[in-house]
């Protein structure tokens, strides 16, 4: 256990800790749910105003959580995020997925592009009215949802292969020479 983790576990779990954790959890909710305002029966200006206030409340809650929980908690969160993003490929071997799951995930990934082209075609060849614009917005959100679901279905092995796609092959050759 690192010193950061030890200081977190030894932290007094009084009202400051509980309030800080509640504010921290609340601060994540507006970031994940702000798109709900697009589906409410509001004008664009109202949806934008309410959405901005909602996201700002999450930011204020995060700052209050940082103040209440202190530096050890934030350092712990930062180290967890860094370890998640910069995982060593030698320590974690991705699980293989079945052929059916892979085909389903690739199908979802390909289908996730379709709503964007349908929206472009609708905007090019029709003159949409206000209700049609909401439908186009739902169509775009469905494309985003399909993309995110496809990445979860494809699993870690797909992420590893995709990451290797953007690595320069000369990097390995340069390390072998040195």
For tokens 């504010």, the residue is 23
Contact at 8 Å (CB) between 30 and 57? yes
Contact at 8 Å (CB) between 158 and 151? yes
Residue 73: per-residue pLDDT: 82
Residue 31: per-residue pLDDT: 82
Residue 108: per-residue pLDDT: 92
Q: Mapping DSSP to helix (H, G, I), strand (E, B) and coil, where does residue 40 land?
A: coil
DSSP summary character for residue 10:
T
Residue 42: per-residue pLDDT: 83
Q: Which helix (H) or strand (E) holds 133?
A: helix 130-165
For tokens 């589906």, the residue is 39
For tokens 């995982």, the residue is 87
Question: How many whole angstroms separate alpha carbon 29 and alpha carbon 58?
Answer: 7
Which of 149, 139, 133, 143 lies closest to 47 in space, CA to CA?
A: 133
C-alpha distances out from residue 76 to 2, 27, 67, Å: 10, 17, 15
Q: What are phi and psi of 52, to 5 degrees?
A: -65, -40
Residue 22: per-residue pLDDT: 93
DSSP track, 24-39: HHHHHHHHHHGGGGGT
Residues of the chain short of pLDDT 70, as ranges, are 1-12, 87-95, 130-131, 171-178
Which of 20, 16, 13 lies closest to 61 in space, CA to CA?
A: 20
Residue 107: per-residue pLDDT: 93
Residue 46: per-residue pLDDT: 82
Residue 96: exposure state from Cβ atoms within 10 A (0-12, 13-18, ≥19):
exposed
């Amino acid at each position: 256990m690192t010193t950061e983790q030890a200081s977190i576990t030894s932290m007094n779990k009084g009202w400051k800790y509980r309030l800080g954790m509640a504010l921290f959890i609340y601060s994540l909710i507006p970031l994940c749910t702000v798109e709900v305002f697009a589906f409410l029966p509001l004008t664009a200006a109202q949806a934008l105003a309410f959405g901005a206030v909602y996201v700002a409340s999450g930011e204020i809650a995060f700052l209050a959580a940082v103040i209440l929980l202190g530096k050890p908690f934030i350092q712990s969160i930062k180290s967890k995020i860094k370890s998640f993003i910069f995982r060593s490929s030698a320590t974690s071997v991705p699980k293989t997925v079945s052929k059916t799951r892979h085909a389903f995930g690739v199908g979802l990934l390909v289908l996730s592009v379709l709503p964007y082209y349908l929206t472009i075609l609708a905007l090019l060849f029709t003159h949409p009215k206000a209700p049609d614009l909401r439908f186009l917005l739902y169509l775009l959100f469905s494309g985003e949802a399909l993309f995110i679901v496809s990445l979860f279905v494809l699993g870690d092995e797909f992420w590893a292969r995709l990451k290797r796609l953007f690595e320069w092959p000369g990097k390995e050759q340069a390390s072998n020479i040195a």
